[in-house]
Structure 1
Amino acid sequence: MLADKGNNNREIGRELSISRFMARRWRNRWLELTERLIPVIERLQDFERSGTPAKFNMEQVVELFALACSKPENYGRPISDWTARELAEEIEKQGIIDSISPRHVGRLLEEAEIKPHQSRYWLTPPSR
């Protein structure tokens, strides 16, 4: 849309906080797809990405986060705070995820900045 208004790649880059080279790349992709008569809705879709597809869907990850923010004793666990190993075992036991390593659980929680040992403090702050 910025190019349609007459902006050059440098101006577009400045406006979108990207390099002028990135602006040029996207403009060229758009024009190439236009020349091939690809409908607009298809031009706006992401291309297939290389690499291994995600192993878990968003719903599974959110269920892991919800479990991590709940009390272990609600699930018959004789512990006060979740560990990555306990979370991995419980999420597999519930059949939400077939198999997940404790390290992967830890990475997912770290990326989301979820700390199960601190969740009770911000979910239920102490009363005064």
Structure 2
Amino acid sequence: MLPVAAARPISLTASQRQRLKKMAHGHKTPHQARVRAHIVLHAARGRSNARIARETGLHLDTVRTWRDRFARQGIAGLADRKRSGRPPSFTALQTAQVKALACRLPAETGTPLSRWSCPELAREAVTRNIADSLSASTVRRWLAQDALKPWQHRSRIFITDPGFRPKAERVLDLYARTWQGRPLGEDELSGAP
């Protein structure tokens, strides 16, 4: 049998203890944060990981993980780590271009329709090389974000500016906290002129 590593001792400052108690007993605190705060408070009382697991009904590995993270990083260690997730399939510019297209009459594009539907918008976006492929459900989701319903409205907002794309790219890059392909730092407002 392998020896079990001793649990890391936890000592709290008065402000840490007070903050953890608020987290553990706050009615608006998310459940995961409450559980993590309880683990640390039990650990600060000198309890073993096995005892904390038994008393809280959590798995021993869960208790060990959050105790160790708190010992290394303090209260900040109790937060979820950033997850990379799946990269976005479409850029903000592509989304904006499809929304701009939805705000134009189909006849202006040479499409023989009186109103746009999501499948028709998706096809037109692919035809215009806005995206390589695009589903009607993605178009529907994008339009719903701004409550755009081109199949129901009689009036349109016309984007006729030929410089729409370059202007939109600059603005959307700044919203994405990038400038000329370089991520902006936390303290940078922008590198734009």
User: What TM-score range do you get, normalising by the shorter chain?
Assistant: 0.5 to 0.7
Conservation of the 8 A alpha-carbon contact between 1:69 and 1:120: no
Aligned-residue sequence identity (percent) comes to 26
TM-score w.r.t. structure 1 length? 0.60
Matched position secondary structure for 2:98: helix
Alignment length, in residue pairs? 112
Structure 1 position 24, deviation (Å) = 5.4
Unaligned stretches of 5+ residues in structure 1: none
Match of 1:55 in 2: 89
Structure 1 position 35, deviation (Å) = 2.5
Aligned positions of 1:117-128 closer than 5 A: 117-121=151-155, 123=157
Matched position secondary structure for 2:104: coil
Distance in 2 between the 1:87 and 1:61 partners? 12
Which residue identity is paired with 2:104? S
* RMSD across aligned positions (CA): 3.8
Distance in 1 between the 2:90 and 2:70 partners? 32
Which residue identity is paired with 2:72? E
Which residue identity is paired with 2:29? I
Match of 2:112 in 1: 78
Distance in 2 between the 1:21 and 1:81 partners? 47
Structure 1 position 91, deviation (Å) = 0.7
Higher relative contact order (CA 8 A, sep 6+): 1
Conservation of the 8 A alpha-carbon contact between 1:92 and 1:100: yes
Structure 1 position 20, deviation (Å) = 4.9
TM-score w.r.t. structure 2 length? 0.43
Match of 1:22 in 2: 33
Distance in 1 between the 2:17 and 2:103 partners? 49
* Residues 1:95 and 1:48: Cα distance change in structure 2 (over 3 Å): same
Greater C-alpha Rg: 2
* Residues 1:74 and 1:33: Cα distance change in structure 2 (over 3 Å): farther
Which residue identity is paired with 2:122? A
Deviates more, 1:114-123 or 1:85-94: 114-123
Distance in 2 between the 1:45 and 1:19 partners? 15
